[in-house]
């Protein structure tokens, strides 16, 4: 927000320069972004009057002007086209200095003496944004009022006359301090910072004898807590006074006419947005504040038609809509040069409603930017009377007696109780309670100190004050953060340790990266189409999405329920970029909605790979190595034929008792087609929590065996559908404690094995921990194993 210092000085006697003032304000929480100095470099530039203009005798494009600068008459030669006899203009006299270091001296132009220079706004260093549009080109033509005589203004320092002899301070106003979006708000902060008293504008309204007769009906007090209005007759729409235009321009607003300028001036001064309606364009004798009807339209002051809905608030008369409440007026009630009677609106609107409406219709204004942050409802009457005062003082109209004010639920001041001792402990300093009370009173809080307790009555304009922490912040910033004593940090330090879950994550990552599988990271918010791309049915719990309230788009509108779509997207990207080998894993969270409030959040591990020569068993080996590293034992690999994401004959579940720890296999061709992949891809998804449950990090060591081992090889011909696991289960169940280990070393299919069968060869190692085994003892156990294989699996020993 731009704050001209000369405007702030009306309310606070600032006795420091702009730089020091800015630093002090920043240190008390009102951050200054920039300081712009007006007129600082201008020397010996005065107000002059053009008495006579003659053509230059030797130059068609130059003119010779006789100029009165008060103390003397001088001659100036110029090429300006916009000057006339009788104009008042800025004159840089001999020895003058202009912004940028330009020195003006007497001289001759094409033989004619020129004793100075007429100045444009640009040459005076005044930014274009701070100049009326009609004065931006050519020499700056000065307007002046009859309050001063010609003798008073001629020769006057241009900086004083144009009021460009001070600084403009730009403040960054945070959203929690809407009370500072005004000159009075900044002045309150300045008074507390400088420890001086604040002077409020003295407001008194000179009213006519005619009483105001007009009604206000509020149909939705939740969206409009207060609405007040005054009537002005005998309106004269004209340019506003120079001093007002100047302040508006320096505060970043464009002057329009006296009525609009006065409402904008009061908004900038007090922070209360206002609006003026042409009363003759209002039908009936009531203003009605109501919600819009669904699909209702209004043409706003920018000549655009706005379509509204039933959540938006309108200002209407008895037949038509007049304005979108708190945002912009309608074109059908606009003040123009023919306006003779005004209805001045000063109202308060709910910030949430204004913010939602402004966003929905794509329209923001100076008024809406204030309302959407919050405006004190108790400011309505003050601002309304201030507008009336300025209209009367500038001769812009006659104020009717009285005003209408509909305020069904007046807002009262909040009370906060705080402990002085607690605030000191949090600050790490010792500030007396009396000192705290004095600081808070400088911010216009009412304070009562009772022993260690401060009872605080918060002014209604401080919408941000709710809790003890807010009071603490006020004390700290006014006391001065740089005044708070510095102390070395003290306390008991403890060593930070990772949790069991974090250590388990590290183990998984270490093992997989050691196996050549790279870690990937993807977003948790995804498109709901992802589960469809991996062929998950609509009845699956994977469709129980947790939806985002404010998504960036449909592609990131829900939380993921599985990691496989993310993995497939990464694999698809790598494949499309001609990456010949990919092996990656992600350890991340999935979210399953059980109700609309709290989802089930679970960690999962997803592994994906493709490579020339890789197959189902490549991935199986990685998963088994991972489980072995984590100490997860007793798991079985069970074929899975019903998982629609995977190839029906190349998919398996990892099962431990009644728990399924994960699923892995080759991705179904239909899924690969959805991702435009024309190669085999293998993916595993594992349940992190179940893996952690079954993991055992305890390692049991056994002494080296004392007795020798004996080995036997066995080659069996079994049917093709017999699984190796079935063979191994029979060997394990019939080992009688003597089979130390066994190993599959050959699987053969060929001419020597009949069709539909395969040859499976194992090496068995026998050993006893108590004695040296004899051939007879080994043979006895070996024979039982062979017999069980033959009887249970119809296996035959291969010759």
Q: Is 487 exposed, middle or buried (0-12, 13-18, 19+ CB in 10 A)?
A: exposed
Contact of 561 with 601, CB cutoff 8 Å? no
Show the CA angle centred on residue 389, arms to residues 386 and 395, nearest 5°. 140
**Which residue is listed with tokens 């913010």?**
355
The residues near 419 (Cβ < 8 Å, ≥ 6 apart) are 452, 453, 454, 468
Distances (CA, A) of 744 to 714, 716, 770, 779: 10, 11, 27, 20
User: Residue 787: helix, strand or coil by DSSP?
Assistant: helix
Distances (CA, A) of 434 to 451, 453, 484: 10, 11, 17
Contact of 468 with 422, CB cutoff 8 Å? yes
First to last CA, the chain: 97
Residue 323's φ and ψ, nearest 5 degrees, are: -165, 155
> What is d(CA 752, CA 738) in angstroms, rounded to the nearest whole number?
33
Distances (CA, A) of 173 to 40, 353, 455, 471: 27, 21, 28, 19
Distances (CA, A) of 292 to 225, 372, 407: 17, 19, 21
Beta-bridge partners for 557: none
User: Residue 502: helix, strand or coil by DSSP?
Assistant: helix
| Nearest CA among 420, 430, 432, 415 for reference residue 472 | 420
> What is d(CA 129, CA 252) in angstroms, rounded to the nearest whole number?
7
Distances (CA, A) of 301 to 275, 297, 323: 12, 13, 9
Strands 286-291 and 215-218: parallel
> What is d(CA 312, CA 325) in angstroms, rounded to the nearest whole number?
8
> What is d(CA 412, CA 590) in angstroms, rounded to the nearest whole number?
48
> What is d(CA 348, CA 360) in angstroms, rounded to the nearest whole number?
20
> What is d(CA 799, CA 794) in angstroms, rounded to the nearest whole number?
16
Q: What single-letter DSSP state applies at residue 142? A: B
> What is d(CA 146, CA 149) in angstroms, rounded to the nearest whole number?
7
Contact of 144 with 426, CB cutoff 8 Å? no
> What is d(CA 323, CA 357) in angstroms, rounded to the nearest whole number?
13
Confirm or deny that 112 is annotated as ligand binding. no
Contact of 271 with 264, CB cutoff 8 Å? no
Confirm or deny that 474 is annotated as ligand binding. yes
DSSP 548-607: -SS-SSGGGSEE-S-SHHHHHHHHHHHHHTT-S-EEEEEEEEEEEESSSS-EEEEEEEEE
The residues near 84 (Cβ < 8 Å, ≥ 6 apart) are 50, 53
Show the CA angle centred on residue 186, arms to residues 181 and 192, nearest 5°. 140
The two tokens of residue 675 are: 């991702």
> What is d(CA 347, CA 530) in angstroms, rounded to the nearest whole number?
50
> What is d(CA 646, CA 611) in angstroms, rounded to the nearest whole number?
17
Count Cα neighbours of 94 within 13 Å in the Cβ-side half-sphere.
Answer: 11
- Show binding-site residues: 464, 470, 473-474
Residue ranges of the annotated binding site for Mg(2+) are 464, 470, 473-474
């Amino acid at each position: 927000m731009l704050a001209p210092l000369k405007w702030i000085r009306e309310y606070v006697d600032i006795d420091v320069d702009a730089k020091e003032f800015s630093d002090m304000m920043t240190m008390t929480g009102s951050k200054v972004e920039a300081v712009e100095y007006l007129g600082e470099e201008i020397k010996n530039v005065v107000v002059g009057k053009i008495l006579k203009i003659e053509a230059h005798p030797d130059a068609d494009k130059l003119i010779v002007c006789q100029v009165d600068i008060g103390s003397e008459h001088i001659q100036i030669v110029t090429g300006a086209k916009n000057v006339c006899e009788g104009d008042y203009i800025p004159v840089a006299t001999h020895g003058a200095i202009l912004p940028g270091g330009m020195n003006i001296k007497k001289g001759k132009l094409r033989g004619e003496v020129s004793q100075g220079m007429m100045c444009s706004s640009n040459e005076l260093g005044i930014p274009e944004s701070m100049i009326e549009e009609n004065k931006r080109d050519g020499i700056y033509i000065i307007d002046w009022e009859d309050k001063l005589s010609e003798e008073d203004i001629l020769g006057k320092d241009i900086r004083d006359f144009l009021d460009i002899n001070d600084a403009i301070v730009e403040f960054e106003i945070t959203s929690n301090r809407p009370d500072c979006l005004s000159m009075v708000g900044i002045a309150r902060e300045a008074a507390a910072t400088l420890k001086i008293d604040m002077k409020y504008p003295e407001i008194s309204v000179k009213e006519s004898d005619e009483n105001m007769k007009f009604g206000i009906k509020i149909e939705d007090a939740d969206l409009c807590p207060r609405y007040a209005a005054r009537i002005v007759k005998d309106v004269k729409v004209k340019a506003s006074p120079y001093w007002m235009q100047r302040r508006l321009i320096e505060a970043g607003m464009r002057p329009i006419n006296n009525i609009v300028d006065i409402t904008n001036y009061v908004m900038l001064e007090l922070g209360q947005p206002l609006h003026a309606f042409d009363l003759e364009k209002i039908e009936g004798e009531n203003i009605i504040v109501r919600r819009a009807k669904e699909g209702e339209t209004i043409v706003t002051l920018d000549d655009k038609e706005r379509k509204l809905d039933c959540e938006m608030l309108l200002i209407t008369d008895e037949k038509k809509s007049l304005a979108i409440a708190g945002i912009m007026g309608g074109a059908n009630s606009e003040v123009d040069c023919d306006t003779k009677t005004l209805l001045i609106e000063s109202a308060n609107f709910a910030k949430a409603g204004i913010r939602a409406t402004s966003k929905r219709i794509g329209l923001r204004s100076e008024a809406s930017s204030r309302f959407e942050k919050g405006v004190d409802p108790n400011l309505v009457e003050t601002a309304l009377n201030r507008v009336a005062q300025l209209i009367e003082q500038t001769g812009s109209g006659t104020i009717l007696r009285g005003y209408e004010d509909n305020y069904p639920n007046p807002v009262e001041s909040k009370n906060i109780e705080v402990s002085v001792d607690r605030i000191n402990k949090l600050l790490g300093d010792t500030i007396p309670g009396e000192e705290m009370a004095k600081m808070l009173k400088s911010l216009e809080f009412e304070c009562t100190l009772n022993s260690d307790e401060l009872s605080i009555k918060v002014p209604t304009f401080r919408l941000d004050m709710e809790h003890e922490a807010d009071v603490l912040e006020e004390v700290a910033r006014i006391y001065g953060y740089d005044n708070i004593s510095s102390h070395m940090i003290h306390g008991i330090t403890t060593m930070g340790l990772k949790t069991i879950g974090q250590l388990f994550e590290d183990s998984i990552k270490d093992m997989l990266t050691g196996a050549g599988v790279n870690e990937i990271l993807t977003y948790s918010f995804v498109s709901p189409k992802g589960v469809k791309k991996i062929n998950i049915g609509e009845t699956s719990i994977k469709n129980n999405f947790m939806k985002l309230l404010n998504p960036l788009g449909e592609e990131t509108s829900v939380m993921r329920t599985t990691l496989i779509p993310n993995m497939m997207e990464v694999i698809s990207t790598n494949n499309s970029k001609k990456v010949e080998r990919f092996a990656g894993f992600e350890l991340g969270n999935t979210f399953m909605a059980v109700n609309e409030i709290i989802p089930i959040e679970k960690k999962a591990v997803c592994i994906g790979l493709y490579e020339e020569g890789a197959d189902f068993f490549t991935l199986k080996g990685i998963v088994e190595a991972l489980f072995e590293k984590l100490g997860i034992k007793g798991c079985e690999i069970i074929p899975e034929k019903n998982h629609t994401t995977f190839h029906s004959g190349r998919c398996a579940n990892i099962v431990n008792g009644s728990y399924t720890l994960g699923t892995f296999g080759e991705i179904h061709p239909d899924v690969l087609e959805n991702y435009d992949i024309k190669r085999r891809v293998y993916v595993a998804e594992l349940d992190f929590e179940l893996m952690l449950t079954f993991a055992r990090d305890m390692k049991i060591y056994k002494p080296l065996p004392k007795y020798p081992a004996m080995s036997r090889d066995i080659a069996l011909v079994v049917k093709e559908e017999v699984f190796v696991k079935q063979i191994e289960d029979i060997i394990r169940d019939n080992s009688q404690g003597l089979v130390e280990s066994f190993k599959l070393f050959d699987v053969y299919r060929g001419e020597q094995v009949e069709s539909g069968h395969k040859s499976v060869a194992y090496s068995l190692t026998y050993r006893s921990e108590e004695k040296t085994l004899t051939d007879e003892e080994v043979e006895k156990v070996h024979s039982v194993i062979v017999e069980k294989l033959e009887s249970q699996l119809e296996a035959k020993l291969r010759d």
